[in-house]
Amino acid sequence: MKKYLEVGKIVNTHGIRGELKLQLWCDDAEYLKRFKTLYFDENGNKSIRLLSVRPHKNAAIIKLEGVDNMDSAEQLKNSILFADRDDAPQEEGTHYIQDIIGCEAVDAETGESYGRVSDVLNYGASDILEIKSGKKTNLVPLVDDIVCEIDEIGGVIKIKPIKGLFDEN
């Protein structure tokens, strides 16, 4: 598992004082408030202090230390921001999306492989696993009745398929 988690992408500037609009790749703006430091690479080499966070529609407005005007903010557009996993312990029964992507999806009873998780989508009701096997893609609701076990360390997700979920017809 990666030590640094992707939390979002800087998509624009906001105002003239160096604030930035962050497309969230985490739960919400409140989640970001846990972090005092963010990073510009997945290895934690270039850090920057997070001064403030507030929700803004489906995004967040953030203020980073040393980014005090529109010109310096403009240079950060399209940057991906990361957070140290150790700064935000997981709650029981929760999973980070980047830990699920790449896991093999298997039948909980037979062990038959359905493919690998290529993405986690959300259309409102619940998260949905996108599972690819060759050219075939299946969408599987990430609900307890179907997904019975997620083993990120072992790289396996056990599924109790309902009729029609993986059927060819």
- 142's CB contacts (< 8 A; 6+ apart) are 120, 126, 127, 128, 129
Q: Which of 76, 58, 66, 65 is nearest to 20 (CA)?
A: 76
Per-residue pLDDT of the chain (169 residues; tens, 9 = 90+): 789 999 999 999 999 999 999 999 888 899 899 999 999 999 999 999 999 999 998 899 999 999 999 999 999 999 999 999 999 877 887 888 889 999 999 999 999 999 999 999 887 778 899 999 999 999 999 999 999 999 999 999 999 988 888 876 4
Structure tokens belonging to residue 91:
């709650």
pLDDT at 169: 46
pLDDT the model gives residue 168: 63
The torsion region of residue 79 among left (phi > 0), alpha (psi -120 to 50) and beta comes to beta
Rounded to two decimals, what is the model's pTM? 0.77
**Paired tokens of 154:** 């072992």
Alpha carbons 167 and 139: distance in angstroms, whole number: 12
The answer to whether residues 93 and 84 touch, using CB atoms and an 8 Å cutoff, is no
Domains defined for the chain, CATH in brackets: 4-86 (2.40.30.60), 97-159 (2.30.30.240)
Which pLDDT score is estimated for 33? 92
